[in-house]
Amino acid sequence: MNSSDLFDLSHTRARPLFDQMTRPWEVLPLLGEFLLELGPRLGPDYEQILPGVWVGKTTVVHPSAVLQGPVVIGQDCEVRPGAFVRPGVLAGDGCVLGHASEFKNCVLFDGVQAPHFNYVGDSVLGWRVHLGAGVIASNFKAGGGEVAVFWEGERVFTSLTKLGVLAGDEADVGSQAVLNPGVILGRGSVVYPLVSVRGTVPALTIVKTADRSSWVIKRIN
């Protein structure tokens, strides 16, 4: 499994980091150090608004949002009221980090929207991924232990005890769905509201319930 199976890497400033690693989850332990190196090199279109926090000058950060560096947020983003952005977050251009949403140690590609009451921890959200209100990307197994992912029928251990979702480009997740630790969403996949998802959702697939027998292939016009 390579990052290019899920993501168009032209839509993130983390491309050099992804190019160094074989598997997409391998970038997550390196994010903090990468951001501390990236931030000072971003140029005049960015400003450092807090220690270790760099934000594009066309981005709007609400006064009630809390940002803890290292964090880099791109241009034309919204960091809405009550957002909690914890260390190790890289958001691309045109992202929404929403009201009462929490982000920690994650990569948001360009155009990601997580607008209302979301939790995104130890995750990678690809280009134009959308999370409905209340979507939770759970990153820690009940009882703890190493998180595994499933890819092409193979169980792959990640060496991580915290891993949320790897959501491919243009995946769309309905309100109050729960993405369990190590979930992979293929490009263009759709998860209906209130579903608890485990394992891997193939590209261009709709998940209507947690029962895999109900998955249907999305029709492309």
CATH code of the domain covering residue 58: 2.160.10.10
Q: pLDDT averaged over consecutive 10-residue blocks of the chain (221 residues)?
A: 95 97 96 98 97 98 98 98 98 98 98 98 98 98 94 92 98 97 96 94 87 62 45
pLDDT at 221: 45
Element (H, E) at 201: strand 200-201
Q: Can you give the residue range of the structural domain that contains 134?
A: 3-217
Half-sphere exposure of 209 (CA within 13 A, CB side): 3
Q: What are phi and psi of 35, to 5 degrees?
A: -70, -35
Which own/partner contact pairs does 33-36 have at CB distance under 8 Å and 24+ positions apart?
34/90, 35/69, 35/70, 35/71, 35/72, 35/88, 35/89, 35/90, 36/70
How many domains would you assign to the chain? 1
pTM score of the predicted model: 0.95
pLDDT at 220: 47
Q: In what order do the strands lie in the sheet with 113-116?
A: 60-61, 78-79, 96-99, 113-116, 130-131, 172-173, 190-191, 205-207, 216-217
Do residues 188 and 209 make contact, with C-beta atoms less than 8 angstroms apart? no
3-state secondary structure of 34: helix
Do residues 201 and 215 make contact, with C-beta atoms less than 8 angstroms apart? yes
pLDDT at 153: 85
Cβ within 8 Å of residue 186, ≥6 positions away: 6, 168, 171, 200, 201, 202, 203, 204, 205
pLDDT at 1: 82
pLDDT at 219: 54
pLDDT at 17: 97
pLDDT at 152: 85
pLDDT at 211: 67
DSSP assignment letter at 202? P
